[in-house]
Amino acid sequence: MNFSSELLHKYCKAGPRYTSYPTAPYFNESFGPVQWQEELQTSQDKNRDISLYVHIPFCDTLCYYCGCNMIATKDYSKATSYLDVLFLEIDRVAGLISPARKVRQLHWGGGTPTFLKPNDIRRLYNYLAAKFNIAEGAEIGCEMDPRELTRAHIIALRESGFNRLSLGVQDLDDKVQVAVNRVQPEALIREVYGWIREEGFPSVNFDLMIGLPYQTLESFALTLDKVIAMAPDRFAVFNYAHVPWMKKNQNLIKEETLPQIDARLALQKLTLEKLTAAGYVYIGMDHFARPDDELVKAQRSKTLYRNFQGYTTHKDCDIIAFGVSAISQTDDVYAQNVKVLSQYRNLVEAGQLPIERGLRITPEDKLRREAITRIMCDLELDKASFGKTWNIDFDSYFADALEQLQDMQADGLVELAADKVRVTDTGRIFLRNIAMVFDSYLHQQADDKPRYSRTV
Residues at the contact surface with ligand SF4, assessed by CB under 6 A:
59, 62-63, 66, 68, 70, 110-112, 145, 168
CB of 184 to ligand SF4, least distance (A): 10
Minimum distance of ligand SF4 from residue 59's CB (angstroms): 3
Smallest distance, ligand SF4 to C-beta of residue 409, A = 38
User: 191: Cβ–Cβ under 8 A, 6 or more apart, which residues?
Assistant: none
For ligand SF4, give the closer residue by CB, 44 or 249.
Answer: 249
Minimum CB separation from ligand SF4 for residue 126, in Å? 25
User: d(Cα 88, Cα 248) in Å, to the nearest integer?
Assistant: 32
To the nearest whole angstrom, how small is the minimum distance from the Cβ of residue 223 to ligand SF4? 17
Nearer to ligand SF4, 110 or 427 (CB): 110
Which residues, other chains included, contact 64 with Cβ-Cβ below 8 Å and sequence gap of 6+? 179, 180, 181, 182, 249, 250, 252, 253
Q: Report the residue number, 22 or 111, with the smaller CB distance to ligand SF4.
A: 111
Farthest-apart Cα atoms in the chain, separation? 61
> Which CB atom, from 115 or from 282, has the smaller least distance to ligand SF4?
115
Cβ nearer to ligand SF4, comparing 170 with 336: 170
| Amino acid occupying residue 402 | L
Handedness of CA 393, 398, 400, 403 (dihedral sign): negative
Residue (69 or 268) nearer to ligand SF4, CB: 69
Q: Minimal distance in Å, beta carbon 289 to ligand SF4?
A: 22
DSSP string, 83-110: HHHHHHHHHHHHTTS-TTSEEEEEEEEE
User: What is the 8-class DSSP label of residue 353?
Assistant: -
Q: What minimum distance in Å lies between the beta carbon of 346 and ligand SF4?
A: 24
In the bound state with ligand SF4, the residue whose beta carbon lies nearer, of 101 and 147, is 147
Least separation, in Å, of the C-beta of 305 and ligand SF4?
A: 24
Closer CB to ligand SF4, residue 24 or residue 68? 68
Closer CB to ligand SF4, 164 or 368, in the complex: 164
Distance CA 420, CA 125 (A): 45
Residue 52 contacts residue 103 (beta carbons within 8 Å): yes
Region for 16 from its dihedrals, namely left if φ exceeds 0, alpha if ψ lies in -120 to 50, beta otherwise: beta
* Nearest approach, Cβ of residue 143 and ligand SF4 (Å): 8
Nearer to ligand SF4, 223 or 330 (CB): 223
Task: Tell me the C-alpha distance between 89 and 323, whole Å.
Answer: 8
Compute the least distance from the CB of residue 112 to ligand SF4, in Å: 5
Q: Name the minimum Å distance from CB 58 to ligand SF4.
A: 8
Q: Where are the beta strands (DSSP E) in 298-347?
A: 305-307, 310-312, 317-322, 327-329, 333-337
Q: How far apart are CA 382 and CA 278, in angstroms?
A: 31
Give whichever of 12 and 62 is closer to ligand SF4, judged by the CB atom.
62
Q: How far is the CB of 121 from ligand SF4 (least distance, A)?
A: 17
Of 29, 453, 433, 31, nearest in space to 247 by CA: 453
- Kindly tell me which of 66 and 267 has the beta carbon lying closer to ligand SF4: 66
226-263 residues labelled b (16+ CB within 10 A) or e (exposed): ebbebebbbbbbbbbbbeeeebebbeebeeeebbeeeb
User: Both ends of the chain: CA-CA distance in Å?
Assistant: 15
Residue type, 40: L
Question: Does residue 49 contact residue 314 with C-beta atoms inside 8 Å?
Answer: yes
Contacts by 292-296, CB closer than 8 A, 24 or more apart: 293/203, 293/233, 293/234, 295/234
CA–CA dist 289, 232 (Å, integer): 9
